[in-house]
């Protein structure tokens, strides 16, 4: 029997131009596509809550999320697939169970991108690009 959270065909690794599960990621490593994928993944409140639940632990079995959230197994599976594709979580196998963990390096890299682009002081008027 497989884990109830597994999407049909299982979890797929991060797509090409995505983030390898064993890499340490810094802000400069995130492509525009990856940043957009992360923003889309975090924009859904339920998905953000699932990521928050995963991040609160070192690891969590996928089936524990099904018990934690009042949504269907299929919905959890869909959200996990998006979080894996964005590189925000890592999924590994332990027998028939999927064990999930937060990619803290990716979360930190994304937070750094936001800080550098949105919180950093703006460009002085004398060096702004023409409209």
Task: Give 56: exposed, middle or buried? Use CB within 10 Å, 0-12, 13-18, 19+.
Answer: exposed
pLDDT(76) > 90: yes
Considering the chain, what is the average pLDDT of its residues? 82
pLDDT at 110: 92
What CATH code would you report for 27-112?
Answer: 1.10.10.10
Mean pLDDT of 17-45: 77
In angstroms, the CA 2 to CA 62 distance is 11
Q: What percent of the chain has pLDDT over 90?
A: 56
Distance CA 82, CA 26 (A): 21
- The reported pLDDT for the residue numbered 15 is 41
**pLDDT recorded at residue 28:** 75
Using a cut of 0.85, tell me whether the model's pTM lies above it.
Answer: no
What's the rounded mean pLDDT across residues 33-61? 95
pLDDT, residue 18, reads 46
pLDDT higher than threshold 80 for residue 85 = yes
User: Which position has the higher pLDDT, 104 or 8?
Assistant: 104
All structural domains of the chain with their residue ranges: 27-112
């Amino acid at each position: 029997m497989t884990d109830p959270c597994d999407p049909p065909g299982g979890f797929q690794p991060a797509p090409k131009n995505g983030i390898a599960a064993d890499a340490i990621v810094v802000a400069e490593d995130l492509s525009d596509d990856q940043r957009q994928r992360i923003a889309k993944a975090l924009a859904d409140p339920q998905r953000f809550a699932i990521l928050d639940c995963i991040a609160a632990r070192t690891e969590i079995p996928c089936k524990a999320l099904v018990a934690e959230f009042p949504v269907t197994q299929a919905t959890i599976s869909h959200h996990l697939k998006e979080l894996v594709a964005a590189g925000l979580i890592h999924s590994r196998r332990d027998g028939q169970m999927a064990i999930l963990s937060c990619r803290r390096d990716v979360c930190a890299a994304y937070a750094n991108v936001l800080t550098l682009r949105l919180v950093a002081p703006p460009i002085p008027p004398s060096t702004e690009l023409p409209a």
